[in-house]
Amino acid sequence: MKKIFFTSLLIWILLINIGKIWPLSKGERYYQNLQKWYLQVNKGNWEKAKIIENKLKKEDIQNFIKENKEEELRKKLNQIIIKKTKTTDDWMEIAVLFYRLNNKNKAYEAIESAHRLDPIREDVNKIFFTFGFDPQLTLQPL
């Protein structure tokens, strides 16, 4: 009886851990593919992004394209820039928007402003100290 119980328990634990390592949900796999696609697009790796794109819904791709058109990015940027007082998160979002608009100098200035406001924040420090040195660094929205 004990042997059957422990065998059942061992199988149950094994199945739970397999589910954590290998996602069984189609939604989880889709979300992972979508995040991989975002990363490849932000890095400019269009060949890798194209391969992943076949696994995604066209609506998600169209929404990303619409949200990242230059006009939309400039509109978001202007909404944040006109704020009288800006938080660290605002400066980081400004940096992301300038970076996506291909203005790396302004992006770095925004990161410097964020770092001056909160010099001990770990995510800001990481970007502040690696931005000028790592050409593959991509800024992700907060």
Cα separations in angstroms, 18 against 9, 12, 14, 24, 124: 14, 10, 6, 9, 35
- CA terminus-to-terminus distance, the chain: 54
Q: Would you list the domain boundaries of the chain?
A: 24-65, 68-142
The reported pLDDT for the residue numbered 41 is 83
Where in the chain does DSSP place strands (E)? none
Work out the percent of the chain whose per-residue pLDDT is above 70: 82
Predicted structure pTM score:
0.64
Band (pLDDT 50/70/90 cuts) for residue 99 is confident
What the block records as the tokens of 80 is: 């944040």
Find, among 72, 65, 73, 123, the residue nearest to 96 by Cα.
73
